[in-house]
Every structure is written in structure tokens, then in C-alpha cells.
Structure 1
Amino acid sequence: MSATDTQTQAIPTGTWTADTVHSSVGFEVPYAVAIFSGDVHEFEASLEDGTIKGTAKIASLQTKDENLQAHLLSPEFFDAERNPEVSFSGSEIKRDGDNVEIPGEITIKGISQPATLKGTITGPAIDHFGKNRLGLKLETTIDRTKHDITWNMPLPNGDQALANDVTLKADLTLVAAEA
């Protein structure tokens, strides 16, 4: 392996924080015959010397339906009043070229479960303002019932309206702390 290959494989050191203007966090879940999605508008994420942490404020969850949004914040789903945040913590980032895998733990409704984020890394690169930026596009699929999110409704054909598997997505632009 050449020095260039080693450099390409390395995870940048130092402290990096999410630029929330240029980042997004959301979810997708099969619902009836389609995919339902939503976004969380208030979140934080950081990368520090190979560990990554993130939190998302459930009250900032946005969907296209206000009634549904209220239902998602209720005890039948996220119980946002008692459990205001979802969090992820990963202590290792495995990199293979542009691909990354981050084993860690996700906590939803106070219940922690193992989860592995998979995706791609871009950069680091200096932007037009002189800031050092790094891109991470990550996702994982969780079983919502393992986090006590069990609401469902039968469809006329006997299937359940809402799938148990939910895909969580984060498209992050991280900015290096200035020395």
C-alpha cells in the first residue's frame, strides 16, 4: 500500500461538527403501498478523532401532514414529551475507499440498540470560504418495535399498514474546528 493509499483510507482527525444548513437527517418507512418519509430539522452531529455522535430533537420532526406529525410525537410513536431526542454514538469508523461503516448504538424512546451506519465519505476539502469540510452520507435500518414503537393498523387485505423496518438517513457536511 502506498502513502497515498494510506492517506485516502484515513479518517480525518480533530474535531468536526455538522453544518446543519448543508446537512439533513430523516427517515423512510414503507406505509401501505408506498414509502412515507419525514425530516428532523433540529439536530447536531460531531466527529472527533474517529468517534461520531449525533442527536436529533424529535419535536422538530416534519412531515407533510400536521395531524400525522402530532401522532408521531405522541406516546404511540416517539413520545416526544418524555423522550425529546434520538441519539447515535459510534466509537469506530471503518473506511474502505469512499465507503464507511460505523458500528454503534442508537437510542430511541430511551431504549438503546446496536446499529451500524453505512454509507460514503467525501473529502476532506477546503471550500470557497477556506473552511475544511467533510461529507458523510449514512443510513441504517432499524426495527422500530425494538424501540417500543408498535403502533399499526391492519389493511383490508390483512397486511399491516406500517412496516417494522425503518430506514434512518443522515446526509452530513462536517466542518473542521479552527485551530
Structure 2
Amino acid sequence: MTAISATTPIPANSTWTVDPVHSTVGFAVKHMVVSTFRGQFDDYSATLTANEDGTLTLEGRVAADSIAVKDENLATHLKAPDFFDTERHPYVTFSSTLVRADNGSLTVDGELTIKGNSRPIEARGVITEPHETFGGVEKVGLELEAVVDRTQYGLDWNAPLPKGGFALANEVKLQINLELAQPEA
């Protein structure tokens, strides 16, 4: 794991863990050619570490069966082998290989593993510097987006539409909004 940070507002030798109440891990995909379908995962963890040399690393894990969509039948299909195959592949994981923060902008390179398929990924977004919140808790924020081809991760299901096109686009936008806090001593 390599991490480089040009200018980071995060103090060295600090670890930050996700506040799941105030964070979201979601996705968006073009559906039936005409709209964007959104969903999210309800069970996830993430850790941001600022190393002694000031470099940053980001690690995350999502319980694939915690997928949350508005239709129970769709949720069941998304957990099946056509999509996440949660029985055989219970987690989606991410591990950073390079983190670059500069004046609030953030670029995170890493390896995303879905359904046993690991691929390099680049996410872009913003990082907020530490800020004291209620009860004296220090928090930082990360907002990241990345676009992946779902078929490269074995999420191949699709259906042709009667007049052309497909039910689902292959490109999926991952949208990660994390509020992270330093663990209490």
C-alpha cells in the first residue's frame, strides 16, 4: 500500500473511522435508457489513516447483502448470482494505493473488489479539514465519486429493450460521502 499526499489538512499519526449515521455509500446507474436509478448500502466501514510522514490511506468494506433499494424483489435479485452473489461474496472491499490531497481536492487510487474481481479504480472528490463538532468530537469529511464498468466485476445481468437499448447501463457511478471521527481515547 502506497500513499502520497501533497497537502493534507489531516494531522499526522491520526486515525479516523466512519460515522455511519451521517455517511452514505451509494451508486447510480442509467435504467431503461431514460432515467438514473440510485441505491445504497446500509452496512459499511471505512478508516482514514494519516501516517507519520503525512501520507493518507483509505480502507473500506461494504456488506453486499445490505443493499437498500425501494423494491424487495429487486433487492433479492441484486443479492443473487446475477449481481452481487452475496452468499458467496459477502463483501465489497476497497484499499487505497495512492491518495493525493491538495487544497481540499482529493484523488484516491486503489483497488476495488466486487464478487471476487479486483480492479484498479480512481475516485475524485473533496476532503474537509478536521472540525470540532458537538461534544468536542473532531471530524473530517470525504466526498468521492468514481465510475466503474459493472461487467468488469462480474455484474453482467442485462435485458434488451423492445425498441433497442438495454435495461441497465454498464457504467455505474459510485458515490461515497463519509463523515469520519477520531475514536474516543
Q: Deviations over 1:69-108 (max 9, x none)?
A: 1000000000000001101110332012111000000000
SS at structure 2 position matched to 1:67: helix
Report if the CA contact (8 A) 1:11-1:93 is conserved: no
SS at structure 2 position matched to 1:94: strand
Report if the CA contact (8 A) 2:146-2:175 is conserved: yes
Matches of 1:149 and 1:113 in 2, distance apart? 13
Aligned position for 1:25: 25
Runs of at least 5 residues in structure 2 that lack an aligned partner in the other structure: 1-5, 51-55
- Taking only aligned residues, the RMSD between alpha carbons, in angstroms, comes to 1.3
Q: Does residue 1:53 correspond to 2:54, yes or no? A: no
Report if the CA contact (8 A) 1:98-1:122 is conserved: yes
Alignment of 1:17-166 (within 5 A): 17-32=17-32, 33-49=34-50, 50-166=56-172
Deviation (angstroms), 1:136: 0.4
Deviation (angstroms), 1:160: 1.1
**TM-score, normalization by structure 1:** 0.92
Task: Percent identity, please.
Answer: 42
Deviation (angstroms), 1:11: 4.6
Aligned position for 2:53: none
Alignment partner for residue 173 of structure 1, among 167, 174, 179? Answer: 179
Aligned length: 172
Matches of 1:178 and 1:123 in 2, distance apart? 18
**TM-score, normalization by structure 2:** 0.89
Report if the CA contact (8 A) 2:15-2:47 is conserved: yes
Report if the CA contact (8 A) 1:16-1:48 is conserved: yes
Report if the CA contact (8 A) 1:107-1:113 is conserved: yes
Deviation (angstroms), 1:178: 3.8
